[in-house]
């Protein structure tokens, strides 16, 4: 109920100085709040799809589905293995370069080892690319 002024009439909203919009918290990135109702079955299905997508946050899941319409959950173990192989290869290359700068010579076995590691990297990269091409 609106408070009445001295004349007994309800004052105009603009005279009450009421801000109808909620003020965003300075630390909050998103300032608009959404709220909706679901049945127990719908809620169970939503939680199951969130788990399938690997998303923990309900808000993140709803934003992703509302904006993009889909969630992609990628198994990145192959990419992690590729990164691991790249680090090993880079470390070995740096050691050979350091030795070459110190002794002015490089051993043929070291070069052959680098070639094998390089081939292993390309095999891993090709496997990842083939897997990505299968995604539709």
**Alpha-carbon span 58 to 39, nearest angstrom:** 16
Q: What is the pLDDT of residues 37-87, one digit of tens each?
A: 899 999 999 999 888 888 889 888 888 888 887 767 777 788 888 888 888
Residues 129, 135: Cα–Cα separation, whole Å? 10
Is 59 within 8 Å of 66 (Cβ atoms)?
no
Q: Say what the pLDDT of residue 42 is.
A: 92
Question: Comparing C-alpha atoms, which of 59, 61, 71, 70 is closest to residue 28?
Answer: 59
Average pLDDT, integer, range 4-32: 55
What's the confidence (pLDDT) of residue 117?
Answer: 85
pLDDT at 29 over 50: yes
- Asked if pLDDT for residue 3 goes beyond 50, the answer is no
Q: Which of 109, 132, 113 is nearest to 121 (CA)?
A: 113
pLDDT of 95 > 70? The answer is yes
State the chain's mean pLDDT as an integer: 77
Residue 10 has a pLDDT of: 46
């Amino acid at each position: 109920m609106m408070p009445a002024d001295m004349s007994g009439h309800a004052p105009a909203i603009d005279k009450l100085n009421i801000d109808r919009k909620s003020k965003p918290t300075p630390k909050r990135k998103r300032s608009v709040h959404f709220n909706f109702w679901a049945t127990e079955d719908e809620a169970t299905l939503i939680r199951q799809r969130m788990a399938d997508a690997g998303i923990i946050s309900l808000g993140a899941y709803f934003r992703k589905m509302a904006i993009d319409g889909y969630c992609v959950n990628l198994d990145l173990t192959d990419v992690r293995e590729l990164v691991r192989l790249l680090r090993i290869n880079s470390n070995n290359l740096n050691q050979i370069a350091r030795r070459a700068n110190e002794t002015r010579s490089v051993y043929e076995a070291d070069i052959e080892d680098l070639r094998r590691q390089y081939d292993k990297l390309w095999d891993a990269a090709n496997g990842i690319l083939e897997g990505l091409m299968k995604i539709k």
